[in-house]
Homo-oligomer: A and B are copies of this chain.
């Protein structure tokens, strides 16, 4: 019943609307003694930040994070850790909303935008903050990225979390070209250097005609030891499925071979095992690093499908709150593919779920 909280031992509660004064989150359950400053968080927020290329929303936000609680330093701590550390108490993070345009939202007050949560919020709550989507805006994911940065600190340097966009609209990458470093050199988190220019051309055309497209993101965690997770209803993959499906516009989640597994034979799907240097080594990773809900020690591989941005410039048929039929077209800022900015969010959710499962093993105190 935690509509705005995720996690069990590493718990994150987010709050805030697109056009309120600020957004933020409270992280409960972070173990004590972990060095934490805004410098650990800000770089991840900067990766998700709007306005960084012509392919993402032109909303201008600094997304500057403040830490309001849960860390402490004195001379002794500074000497030992070089700065403040977590104390085990809740960490409150706050991000100001600076670009809440003062334009008139009255025109969408009554309109239900197809693909958005306008109609369903109204049916559930009877009213909604319609400015920029209010609580249902992708702006909420900034809080997730901030919390994910703290989760990374809980996981430590031995676990590496990365995400790439592997499909943009109908265009899939060639996995043989996969290079993580390539992700950093194009505005799409595309790991395939040969695909990136084609994507740029494609997305430009989409953008120019005011249309939109979807994307598939793949998130990978390297270095997770075997034995994390839990069977039946506390499964690592079930928690990942829930966490990823909770991201705005996501319509599908898969682990390892995912939907492809249905078409494999039992022989091909089996991840055979050998010994290597005293450790178990799997010869393939169709299971995506998880068996029976518990990590195998292989990379954790999660993919999610993001639907096309619902706000487009072409008019669509819709209805009003009072039951009149009408058309709607988005005006102003337009984001041709929300999936592009979802990669840092996927990383953050992966980090948070793994931090949660790590604490189930080490105990919440974390000493």
Complex CA gap A215/B29 in Å reads 33
**1/0 per residue A220-242: CB within 8 Å of B?**
00000011111111110111111
Closest B residue to A24 by CB, please name it.
B92
Q: A313 — nearest CB in chain B belongs to which residue? A: B266
Knowing that A269-B307, A269-B310 are A-B contacts, what are 6 other residue pairs whose CB atoms are under 8 Å apart, sorted by A's residue number? A1-B29, A16-B92, A206-B265, A261-B306, A270-B316, A280-B323
> Contact between A245 and B252 (Cβ–Cβ < 8 Å)?
no
**Residue in B69, B283, B361 whose CB lies within 8 Å of A16:** B69
Proximity bits, A81-115, B CB within 8 Å = 1, else 0 = 00001011111100000000000001001001011
A365 touches B235 (CB 8 A): no
What total of chain A residues lie within 8 Å of the partner, measured CB to CB?
A: 153
The answer to whether B4 and A272 have CB atoms under 8 Å apart is: no
Q: Is the CB of B307 within 8 A of A286?
A: yes
Q: Which residues in B have their C-beta under 8 angstroms from that of A74? A: 106, 109
A169 contact from B11, B262, B339, Cβ within 8 A: B262
- List 29 A–B pairs whose Cβ atoms lie within 8 Å, in order of A's numbering: A3-B232, A5-B5, A6-B233, A15-B26, A15-B70, A16-B92, A17-B70, A72-B128, A89-B129, A89-B134, A89-B231, A114-B273, A123-B226, A124-B226, A124-B228, A124-B365, A125-B367, A136-B231, A170-B263, A206-B265, A213-B262, A214-B261, A235-B245, A245-B253, A246-B293, A251-B257, A252-B253, A278-B323, A283-B317
Does A134 contact B262, Cβ atoms closer than 8 Å? no
Q: How far is the CB of A100 from chain B (nearest CB, A)?
A: 13
A20 is an interface residue with CB less than 8 A from chain B: yes
**1/0 contact string of A246-280 vs chain B (CB within 8 Å):** 10000111111111111111110111111100101
Complexed CA–CA distance, A339 and B121 (Å): 36
